[in-house]
């Protein structure tokens, strides 16, 4: 079946969070301006998911709902079939999202005042989970290297070793694949993370929400596929169908907690804040996504890769001083504008007011992201190219491309 990834859905006035944020900032934006910020897609949902919800709704009573055998089978089967490891049913703890799961893990598996290690530039709710939980942020920044002339990120294992060796630091929140830099960690890298944390008694909370979104020639390694049983008392793995199939509004997250004691504490944390149930649409949507949408996902990944190549080609030809980082995973491109010499706030203002380009600003991912922008590539390619043309025209007018306005092509 051929799926439509060229038509832009109508989202203005529908309550879409990123669209509403954009229009609150500039109410008079033209109809051709599409936000490329928050990580949801400017595509229709998989038709199989929409049909499954229609079919379910026809016979449903929308009361309190619990996971069914079919739900468990779909979730466990997806991990086994797509990611090469076999979870057990009793490990599953559902939550209304990966972010609530991370907040809950910090709150229930560490003590007030503990240090929680994060690897910036990184998904900003990690910082929020630590600070709101009364814990301390411990930074283990990613290192920028050059590989084949291109900017690439790696973990600083020596620094991680030092931070993990401090008994006051009790948790690492790991982003795998990494948002926003687009790295997909190798088996060897994950093994080293686990070895360091194992030796120092550090709990690992692995956010694998982007695990299905990997680019051609790259393989995601599920952290559970490289763990030892002795790691289980210090491990929580957070997954969800929400990013892969654009169903964040269904609020379905599937967390795997293999150790019984840790699982009891984790579940108790949700009960303490009366957050123990998913909404009733989460279950049929997840079942359909994990059992009927492999072909849709395959075509989506092709579209994301094509958009990434278009972005790289545009920058190379029209704005060569702007560098696009290699994309291994996620549908989020990490783009380096530091050559323009702007402060983070100047860059943000230029993007929004001059270029009418709504992105996620690099500085929100930590000071390590200053000078960068995150582009959401999950949109029809004509939308992306239109945004890039606005960017180029605004840059020529404002002068950040240099006295000659950059390339004349």
The answer to whether the CB of 186 falls within 8 A of the CB of 154 is: no
- Give me the domains of the chain, ranges plus CATH numbers: 17-45+293-397 (3.90.1150.10), 49-290 (3.40.640.10)
Cα 14 from Cα 37, distance rounded (Å)? 17
Beta strand pairing status for 235-239 and 115-118? unpaired
Q: How distant, in Å, are the alpha carbons of 185, 189, 375 from that of 41?
A: 24, 30, 12
Instruction: Tell me what pLDDT residue 276 has.
Output: 79
pTM: 0.95
Q: Which residues pair with 360 in a beta bridge?
A: 374
Instruction: Tell me what pLDDT residue 409 has.
Output: 38
Which value, to the nearest 10 degrees, does the dihedral of the CA atoms of residues 210, 215, 216, 222 take? -30
Residue partners of 95: CB distance under 8 A and separation at least 6: 101, 104, 253, 255, 270, 275, 278
Instruction: Report the interhelical angle of 282-292 vs 47-58 (nearest 10°).
Output: 140
Instruction: Tell me what pLDDT residue 161 has.
Output: 98
Cα 288 from Cα 328, distance rounded (Å)? 26
The answer to whether the CB of 172 falls within 8 A of the CB of 117 is: yes
Instruction: Tell me what pLDDT residue 401 has.
Output: 58
| Chain centre distance of CA 121 | 13
Cα 98 from Cα 256, distance rounded (Å)? 11
User: Whole-angstrom distance between the N-terminal and C-terminal Cα of the chain?
Assistant: 38
Q: How distant, in Å, are the alpha carbons of 103, 134, 170, 370, 405 from that of 107?
A: 6, 8, 12, 29, 51
For 219-279, the DSSP string reads ----GGGS--GGGGGGEEEEE-SHHHHT-GGG--EEEE--SHHHHHHHHHHHHHTT-----
The tens place of each residue's pLDDT in the chain, 409 residues long, gives 999 999 999 999 999 999 999 999 999 998 889 999 999 999 999 999 999 999 999 998 999 999 999 999 999 999 999 999 999 999 999 999 999 999 999 999 999 999 999 999 999 999 999 999 999 999 999 999 998 889 999 999 999 999 999 999 999 999 999 999 999 999 999 999 999 999 999 999 999 999 999 999 999 999 999 999 999 999 999 999 999 999 999 999 999 999 999 999 999 999 999 887 899 999 999 999 999 999 999 999 999 999 999 999 999 999 999 999 999 999 999 999 999 999 999 999 999 999 999 999 999 999 999 999 999 999 999 999 999 999 999 999 987 654 334 443 3
Residue partners of 182: CB distance under 8 A and separation at least 6: 325, 326, 327, 328, 329, 330, 332, 333, 334
Cα 267 from Cα 109, distance rounded (Å)? 11
Reduce the secondary structure of 330-373 to three states and give it as a string: CCEEEEECHHHCCCHHHHHHHHHHHCCCCCEEHHHHCHHHCCEE
Q: Tell me if residue 205 falls in helix, strand or coil.
A: strand
Whether residue 345 is preceded by a cis peptide bond, meaning omega within 30 degrees of 0, is no
């Amino acid at each position: 079946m051929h799926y439509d990834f060229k038509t832009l859905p109508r989202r203005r006035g529908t309550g879409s969070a990123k669209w509403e944020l954009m229009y609150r900032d500039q109410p008079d934006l033209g109809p051709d301006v599409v936000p490329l910020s928050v990580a949801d897609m400017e595509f229709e949902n998989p038709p199989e998911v929409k049909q499954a919800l229609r079919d379910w709704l026809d016979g449903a009573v929308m009361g309190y709902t619990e996971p069914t055998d079919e739900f468990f089978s779909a979730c466990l089967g997806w991990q086994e079939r797509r990611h090469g490891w076999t979870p057990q049913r009793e490990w599953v703890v559902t939550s209304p999202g990966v972010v609530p799961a991370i907040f809950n893990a910090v709150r229930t598996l560490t003590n007030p005042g503990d240090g929680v290690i994060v690897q910036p530039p990184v998904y900003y709710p990690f910082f929020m989970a630590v600070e709101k939980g009364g814990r301390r942020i411990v930074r283990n920044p990613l290192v920028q290297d050059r590989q084949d002339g291109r900017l690439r990120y790696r973990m600083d294992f020596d620094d991680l070793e030092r931070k993990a060796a401090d008994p006051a630091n009790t948790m690492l929140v790991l982003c795998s694949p990494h948002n926003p830099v687009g790295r997909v960690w190798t088996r060897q890298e994950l093994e080293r993370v686990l070895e360091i944390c194992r030796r120092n008694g550090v709990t690992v909370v692995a956010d694998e929400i982007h695990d299905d979104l990997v680019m051609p020639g790259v393989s995601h390694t599920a952290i559970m596929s490289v763990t030892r049983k002795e790691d289980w008392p210090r491990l929580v793995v957070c997954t969800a169908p929400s990013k892969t199939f654009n169903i964040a509004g269904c609020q379905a997250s599937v967390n795997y907690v293999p150790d019984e004691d840790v699982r009891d504490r984790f579940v108790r944390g949700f009960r303490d804040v009366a957050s123990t149930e998913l909404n009733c649409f989460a279950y049929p949507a997840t079942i359909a996504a994990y059992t009927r949408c492999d072909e849709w996902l395959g075509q989506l990944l092709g579209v994301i890769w094509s958009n990434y190549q278009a972005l790289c080609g545009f920058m190379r030809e029209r704005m060569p001083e702007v560098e696009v980082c290699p994309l291994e995973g996620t549908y989020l491109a990490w783009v380096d504008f530091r050559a323009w010499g702007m402060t983070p706030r100047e860059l943000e203002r230029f993007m929004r007011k001059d270029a009418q380009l709504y992105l996620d600003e690099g500085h929100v991912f930590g000071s390590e992201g200053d000078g960068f922008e995150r582009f959401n590539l999950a949109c029809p390619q004509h939308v992306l190219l239109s945004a890039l043309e606005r960017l180029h025209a605004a840059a020529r007018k404002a002068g950040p491309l240099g006295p000659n306005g950059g390339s004349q092509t």
